[in-house]
Amino acid sequence: MFDQLSQSLENVFGGLRRRASLREQDIENANQEIRRALLEADVALNAVKAFFENFAPRTDLLTQELAQTINPADELLKRAQNALARLLGEGAQRPMRLASTEIELSNPPTILLAGLQGSGKTTTAVKLAFHLQKQKHNPLLVSLDFSRPAAEQQLLTLAQRAKIPTILQSENPENNEGVTGNAITNRVIAFAKHAKNIATKKNALLICDTAGRMQVDEQAMDEIASIAKILTPRETLLVADAMLGQEAANIAESFKQRLQISGIILTRLDGDARAGAALSMMSSAKKPVRFAGTGESIDALEKFDPNAIASRILGRGDLKGLVEKMQKSTPKVEKTSEKQEKKDIAYGKFNLNAHKKQIQQMRNVGGLEGLAKHLPKAMQDKINNARAKSMVNADKLKRQEVIINAMTRDERKNPKIIHASRKKRIASGASATIVEVNRLLKNHASTAKAMKTMAKWDDKALQRNATSLFR
Ligand code: GDP
Ligand code: MG
């Protein structure tokens, strides 16, 4: 994410770190370089200005302040993280109001998605429904896009894949096919009313996909403004393509003139998007980014956490995001065995059942490669070098899981009982060699030892020591 900006900023701070103390001139030079990096990442001018107001309003005072600290470069890096996080909307986010307990009768909680054609609205509607369903919401999807005959079908196909219920245009009793021109808007509005009724009856959270146009045009704006009037949505989210850089923030501004936009969803943050869209949104459009689209698949939607993203941009890693990803990808296991595992780990008893679960988690976050994305840059490079050799690439993880599957319950609970004849049986059951079984057991023994130590760490120690694990 934002690789280019990240690289430039790391160069700046890497250079500062090599100095024992920082003179005013050093800070001014760094400011120049940071400014250039931000502008190259297509960050809007007013956002760059806002950044420096937080980061270094006066270099003379900042120099004095830093002179009092033990590690001036690190202190400056922290300031940069705070200033970037502010720019990304830290502190500006009130939680979304989607709970059905807040329902006024006859007005279901509704999310309306707006945006240009191709920005990712339809995909995002389904991703969002999928995400919110996991948070115990009861989403119901509807396509208010009457501009193309295939638009509803696209939503339906994605929704079926994600097992999210939809309301279909053909189910509307007032459906009148073949109307053209302005009358299309009337049909959309009639359907929006219908959808609202259905959602109310089903006590559901209504998520509405809408038509986009190539340009921000008047007729499209009129249409979505009338839809919003009917639906009175709790959240009206603008879906914007992050690849457009600061232009995305301009688009948000022009939508804001016609619609009460409550937040932004940035799509395509997985590509080589420049940081301009995300960093300019708060200063230009004054709207918080709620979610980031990070791929085409249904689960490629992340909550947008300004502080974590600022940390990632500065190459400081994002342990919180990693923990969330691990939790999200934990496969469902029987409740009792899960409880037992937690207990086992807490007591430093890390057996092969727990080991298998770890392997599954690693596979679900994409092996070391997926994990590395959340770690500080310096560690990422080391991990990427070590990846090919290690036990933790996708193929090897799968092999290890197969081997554990070939063990009996007793063997998994107590690997010590696995002697020669058992190894032979396991190897043949997993179509593996004895060498592979031995390697797994050895790896397990050393992990168990490490887990025993880690079980004694508190959060602070965990953060501190996580770094040394990868040395
Ligand atoms: P709409 O016209 O606004 O409804 O846009 P669509 O939902 O049809 O999306 C247009 C294209 O962008 C599709 O091919 C999507 O798969 C793709 N897309 C949407 N969101 C993302 C994202 O976050 N990352 C990537 N890589 N592709 C996306
Ligand atoms: Mg669409």
Do residue 284 and residue 405 come from a single domain?
Answer: no
Q: Please state which of the ranges 4-18, 41-55, 381-395, 408-422 shows the lowest mean pLDDT.
A: 381-395
Query: Is residue 92 included in any domain, yes or no?
Result: no
- Among 255, 267, 297, 301, which is best to mutate for testing ligand 1, by the most ligand atoms less than 8 A from CB? 267
- Closest-approaching ligand to the CA atom of 145: 2
Pairing type for strands 263-267 and 235-241 reads parallel
Do residue 323 and residue 265 come from a single domain?
Answer: no
Do residue 123 and residue 217 come from a single domain?
Answer: yes
Helix (H, G, I), strand (E, B) or coil at 387: helix
CA of 286 to the centre of ligand 2 (A): 25
Q: What is the CATH number of the domain that holds 298?
A: 3.40.50.300
Helix (H, G, I), strand (E, B) or coil at 235: strand
Nearest residue by C-alpha to atom 14 in ligand 1: 296
Do residue 302 and residue 439 come from a single domain?
Answer: no
- Per-residue pLDDT, 215: 67
CA of 152 to the centre of ligand 2 (A): 8
CA of 14 to the centre of ligand 1 (A): 36
Q: Please tell me which residue, 456 or 4, carries the higher pLDDT value.
A: 4
Cα separation, 296 vs 300, in Å, equals 6
Which regions of 151-275 does DSSP assign to beta strands (E)?
166-167, 205-210, 235-241, 263-267
Question: In this structure, what token pair is assigned to residue 130?
Answer: 């999928």
pLDDT higher than 70, residue 33: yes
Confidence of residue 333 (pLDDT cuts 50, 70, 90): very low
Query: Is residue 95 included in any domain, yes or no?
Result: no
Tell me the per-residue pLDDT of 228-238, one tens digit each, with 9 for 90 and over: 999 999 999 99
pTM for this structure?
Answer: 0.73
Do residue 165 and residue 288 come from a single domain?
Answer: yes
Cα separation, 267 vs 164, in Å, equals 21
Q: Is 212 in the pocket of ligand 1 (CB under 6 A)?
A: yes
pLDDT higher than 50, residue 197: yes
Confidence of residue 341 (pLDDT cuts 50, 70, 90): low
Do residue 71 and residue 106 come from a single domain?
Answer: no
Which regions of 279-415 does DSSP assign to beta strands (E)?
289-293, 301-303
Name every residue whose Cβ is closer than 8 Å to that of residue 323 and which is 6 or more positions away in sequence.
none
User: What value does the mean pLDDT take over residues 379-386?
Assistant: 70
Q: Is 120 in the pocket of ligand 1 (CB under 6 A)?
A: yes
Do residue 323 and residue 308 come from a single domain?
Answer: no
For the four alpha carbons of 314, 317, 320 and 326, in that order, the dihedral sign comes to positive
Do residue 175 and residue 233 come from a single domain?
Answer: yes
Q: State in Å, rounded, how far the first CA of the chain is from the last one.
A: 24
Query: Is residue 395 included in any domain, yes or no?
Result: yes
Query: Is residue 184 included in any domain, yes or no?
Result: yes
Calculate what percentage of the chain has a pLDDT beyond 90: 49
Do residue 274 and residue 377 come from a single domain?
Answer: no
Confidence of residue 351 (pLDDT cuts 50, 70, 90): confident
Query: Is residue 125 included in any domain, yes or no?
Result: yes
Which among 30, 55, 87 is the end of a domain? 87
Q: What is the CATH number of the domain that holds 434?
A: 1.10.260.30
Q: Could you tell me which of 167, 151, 128 has the C-alpha nearest to residue 264?
A: 128
Do residue 451 and residue 354 come from a single domain?
Answer: yes
User: What value does the mean pLDDT take over residues 191-215?
Assistant: 89
Q: What is the CATH number of the domain that holds 8?
A: 1.20.120.140
Helix (H, G, I), strand (E, B) or coil at 237: strand
- Per-residue pLDDT, 96: 83
pLDDT higher than 70, residue 179: no
Name every residue whose Cβ is closer than 8 Å to that of residue 185 and which is 6 or more positions away in sequence.
219, 222, 223, 226
Cα separation, 159 vs 165, in Å, equals 7
Domain that holds residue 19: 3-87
Q: Is 272 in the pocket of ligand 1 (CB under 6 A)?
A: no
Do residue 232 and residue 257 come from a single domain?
Answer: yes
Confidence of residue 387 (pLDDT cuts 50, 70, 90): low
Query: Is residue 33 included in any domain, yes or no?
Result: yes
- Per-residue pLDDT, 209: 96
Which among 269, 287, 313 is the end of a domain? 313
User: How many CB atoms within 10 Å of residue 41?
Assistant: 25
pLDDT higher than 90, residue 395: no
Query: Is residue 296 included in any domain, yes or no?
Result: yes
Question: In this structure, what token pair is assigned to residue 465?
Answer: 């020591």
Which among 278, 313, 348 is the end of a domain? 313
- Closest-approaching ligand to the CA atom of 271: 1
Cα separation, 185 vs 415, in Å, equals 67
Confidence of residue 471 (pLDDT cuts 50, 70, 90): very low
Do residue 165 and residue 305 come from a single domain?
Answer: yes
CB 287 within 8 A of CB 262: yes
Name every residue whose Cβ is closer than 8 Å to that of residue 348 and which is 6 or more positions away in sequence.
451, 452, 455, 456
Number of domains comprising the chain: 3
Residues lining ion ligand 2 (Cβ < 5 A) are: 121-122
CB 43 within 8 A of CB 276: yes
Token look-up 């390697």 returns 439
User: What value does the mean pLDDT take over residues 341-367?
Assistant: 71
Nearest residue by C-alpha to atom 6 in ligand 1: 120
Question: In this structure, what token pair is assigned to residue 73?
Answer: 């470069």
Helix (H) or strand (E) holding 280: helix 276-280
CB 255 within 8 A of CB 261: yes
Nearest residue by C-alpha to atom 26 in ligand 1: 295
Query: Is residue 126 included in any domain, yes or no?
Result: yes
Sheet containing strand 235-241, strands side by side: 166-167, 139-144, 205-210, 110-114, 235-241, 263-267, 289-293, 301-303
